[in-house]
Amino acid sequence: MNVGEELPQAAPARGHALAATGVTVAYDGVDVVHEASLELAPGRVTVLVGPNGSGKSTLLRTVARLQRARSATLTLDGGTDGFALSPREFSRQVALLTQGRPTPSGLTVRDVVEFGRYPHRGRWGRSDPGGREAVDRALGMTGVAELAERGAEHLSGGQLQRVWLAGCLAQETGVLLLDEPTTYLDLRYQVELLDLIRDLADDHAIAVGVVLHDLDQAAAVADRIVLLRAGRVIADGEPGDVLTPERLTDTYGIRIEVSTDPLTGRLRTRAIGRHHTRRTPDGVRVLDADRDSVSAHRGAGRDEGDRAPGYGAGAGDSVRVSTSTTA
């Protein structure tokens, strides 16, 4: 899977979409997701973000029917009740790439990807006229075609992650759900995987829902972002409307600045921790970007509005931050 490489043509998308409303999930009698909603549209990438424990993976797994909901409605394309379908019928419409899948033993890469064809096989798994072509296409799209005959147990974590994704693509669904798919991938394959996700939506009208931890990656790939905190959806909309400094700082409990990349026009975020500041001779802490202009901060304008308590300060320290955007 090379940057700029033209993707093999996938099967035409069938326009499936998904809408979940009123999703409440409980563990041991305690609600961990509260009345959440998630809508996935054809040709659009929706990214779920939020701190650890915010419920984003639980919401995704519930929508994929791997986690039982205390209450929820799930509607697929055409008004179909997603909870009423058989596992085989549901898997023809929705594919899920989960975290932490076990390493297959005694199977080749092709064998693993062929598991994605299960929903399309006839009784006893004998008839699947388009199976070989679908598997070859999925292997090519994820850049693992050259590994097709290699034993899956001999792959690196990143290679195996791409093989599991190939199995999802071989499933040929209209909805694709991915739970932290960039885990275990090096930087190149993280970028290429996000490019592939974007291509699946743009070129094949797949409705994509993905959980990501990296806010910059989310902003780069998403048409829509759903931000969760403590099991509740607190914002849902376009990246620029959801990823604001105030909202992110409040949600993650650490100062987060948001700026626009001058080259790409994309949003980028920066968390400001205690090592992003330096102490000046008079005991004032300033951001690295402000060291050249520190004299402007001395003696004048030290009002409470310029202070950010708790960001790298010890007891009695005075903390000052720039009012300008930092890169």
Confidence of residue 295 (pLDDT cuts 50, 70, 90): very low
Q: So what's the pLDDT on residue 172?
A: 94
Confidence of residue 102 (pLDDT cuts 50, 70, 90): confident
pLDDT in tens, 233-263: 999 999 999 999 999 999 999 999 999 999 8
Structure tokens at 31: 């609600």
* Percentage, residues of the chain above pLDDT 90: 62
Radius of gyration (C-alpha) of the chain in whole angstroms: 23
Largest pairwise CA distance in the chain: 81
As a whole number of angstroms, the distance between CA 199 and CA 208 comes to: 11
Is 33 in contact with 25 (CB distance < 8 Å)? yes
Confidence of residue 46 (pLDDT cuts 50, 70, 90): very high
Is 24 in contact with 34 (CB distance < 8 Å)? yes
As a whole number of angstroms, the distance between CA 84 and CA 63 comes to: 13
Predicted model pTM: 0.78
Is 35 in contact with 25 (CB distance < 8 Å)? no
Confidence of residue 230 (pLDDT cuts 50, 70, 90): very high
Is 208 in contact with 200 (CB distance < 8 Å)? yes
Domain ranges of the chain: 18-238, 276-319
Q: So what's the pLDDT on residue 100?
A: 77
Statement: residue 13 has pLDDT above 60: no
**CA dihedral sign, ordered 131, 132, 133, 134:** positive
Query: CATH number of the domain at 18-238, out of 3.20.10.10, 3.40.50.300, 3.40.50.2000, 3.40.1160.10?
Result: 3.40.50.300
